[in-house]
Structure 1
């Protein structure tokens, strides 16, 4: 893994699910979404191509959830409940990976995270994906 900075190891909170993710464009694809599920979940994600998420252990502990059209499949650990990744609705050849599950990475490592308009999803409107805003993290001064 040392030779490929886009290959990242990760796991759920309890460690039952362990995986490797090959990030499509490093952390340049980082984002959040305003759809009802993502809004409640609150995760910051980064993209991996189809086949770019490889389970190392815990496949039996991984469960999934689908809603609305059922085309996006959201995976999470059935033991600790942590969302690890999902197959995207707008581009089913991509997975979105929860950056908080990646070893050594925190969503608070990113000063700004683009927020995409998932309420007015491109597959519903026929329009290009719109940026809804920017999430900013400003650390407290010590």
Structure 2
């Protein structure tokens, strides 16, 4: 079970998320709330500083702004990092460690204060499991 309430605000089973300027809007299926919130210490996540949480790949719908999303890939070019081409806010990414899931920017959830989540675990992205051989 995930986090279903943040500072008195309920996480909806279908919750809207948007970039800063509102050009990109997502609809996320979050029946269990915010699942697996985390930070990552890889070179990309360290710089963007976002808290990411998981949603099933079919649980993320782009409602508006598809044409304004920009894709960024690096290293193995497996993960797909998306951000708004207008305001630059990272909205979501297709996960390298689990391509059947998206990670989404918790700060983009409408009405949810990411600072009210308290301490968030940090994943070791520098030593990513997909980089290990054998």
TM-score, normalised relative to structure 2: 0.87
Corresponding residue of 2:40? 33
Query: 1:12, 1:18 within 8 Å by CA — same for their partners in 2?
Result: yes
Q: Aligned partners of 2:128, 2:22: CA distance in 1, in Å?
A: 33
Aligned with 2:132 (options 125, 128, 138): 125
Deviation at 1:126, TM superposition (A): 5.0
Counting matched residue pairs gives 124
Corresponding residue of 2:26? 19
Greater per-residue strand proportion? 1
Runs of 4+, deviation exceeding 4 Å: none
CA RMSD of aligned residues (A): 1.6
Q: Aligned partners of 2:89, 2:75: CA distance in 1, in Å?
A: 21
CA distance change for structure 1 residues 75 and 24 in 2, over 3 Å: closer, same or farther? farther
**5+ residue gaps, structure 2:** 1-10
Greater per-residue helix proportion? 2
Secondary structure of the corresponding residue to residue 113 of structure 1: coil
Using the TM superposition, name which of 31-40 and 19-28 deviates more.
19-28
> Larger relative contact order (C-alpha < 8 A, sep ≥ 6)?
2
Aligned ranges 1:68-87 → 2 under 5 Å: 68-87=75-94
TM-score, normalised relative to structure 1: 0.82
Q: Aligned partners of 1:28, 1:66: CA distance in 2, in Å?
A: 24
Corresponding residue of 2:12? 5
Deviation at 1:28, TM superposition (A): 3.6
**5+ residue gaps, structure 1:** 128-142
Aligned ranges 1:78-97 → 2 under 5 Å: 78-97=85-104
